[in-house]
Amino acid sequence: MRGNPEVVDYLNMLIGGELAARDQYLIHSRMYEDWGLTKIFERIDHEMQEEAAHADSIIRRVLFLEGTPNMNRDDIETGEDVVSCLKADLKLEYHVRDKLAQGVKLCEEKGDYITRDMLRQQMSDTEEDHTYWLEKQIRLIELIGLQNYIQSQM
């Protein structure tokens, strides 16, 4: 089924963001694992897998719409410690959320309601799961202190 070229182009741009999120979560999860922070490693590894699934869904949709997926990922920001990793991931999630919202709007304008619904679901995951969890971790560090937070993640 031939899709709207603007929607396909936008989906290709979104693939880059999802791949970047996947790769950023991958490096951060492995850093946490190396530091012995098994709880946060497990959570961020799970987030990495979800981002890969988001990218997969968008790639499949581009193919369905008779487009060619663009596999070039956006740049990533690798943190150097727990706080900078969490903040970099949160910054990325805010960026992805904004792009997904714009994609929902574009799909609505172009009458592609299936793609719109797919992006809305991904936006829900981004807001209600990924972003919320990251915001909560940063708040916990502010409330209980970095050392107590790190100890709770071992």
Binding residues for Fe cation: 18, 46, 50-51, 54, 93, 127, 130
* CB neighbours of residue 52 within 10 Å: 17
CA proximity to 150, closest of 142, 141, 87: 141
The 3-state DSSP class for residue 111 equals coil
Q: Rounded CA gap, 72 and 82, in Å?
A: 27
Instruction: Pick out the residues of the known binding site.
Output: 18, 46, 50-51, 54, 93, 127, 130
3-state class (DSSP) for residue 61 = helix
